[in-house]
Amino acid sequence: MVQAARSGRAGRFLTAAAVLLLVAAVVIAARNRRQATFSVSRPMLGTIVSVTVGARDRNTASKHLTAAFDRVTELEKALSAQNEKAELARLNRAAGGEPVKVSEDLFRAIAAGAGWHKRSHGCFDIA
């Protein structure tokens, strides 16, 4: 009986020690991975586009922010309602005429708009 009690205490002690070590490891890992938040806003797509990223340093954040705004620039070339050179403007000019081949981005945007039109029972209209 005395041996079982000692063994139980030792087991609880080892379990508690293991939990404390695990918590300490998590805290140390989290401290080493701290990220700062970096935000940039630019006028695009007829509005202000804001992108916020978490990164360990300004260089990494800059790379991610540049990639995000490069992607928005690509989308703007296809979807902008303000730019007459945009793919959407070309599609609108061809309305009622011959079929027009469009990019995957424009196709997905139109399909999403049509889906929201249906879900909103016509309240959202991309026309």
> Looking at the whole model, is its pTM more than 0.85?
no
Query: Along the 127 residues of the chain, how does pLDDT read in single tens digits?
Result: 444 444 455 556 566 656 655 655 656 655 656 789 999 999 988 889 999 999 999 999 999 999 999 999 999 999 887 789 999 999 999 999 999 999 999 999 999 999 999 999 999 998 8
Gap between the Cα atoms of 57 and 7, Å rounded: 50
Domain boundaries, the chain: 1-34, 36-119
Closest CA to 49 of 29, 30, 25, 75: 75
pLDDT of amino acid 65: 96
Compute, in degrees rounded to 10, the torsion defined by CA atoms 41, 87, 82, 116: -80
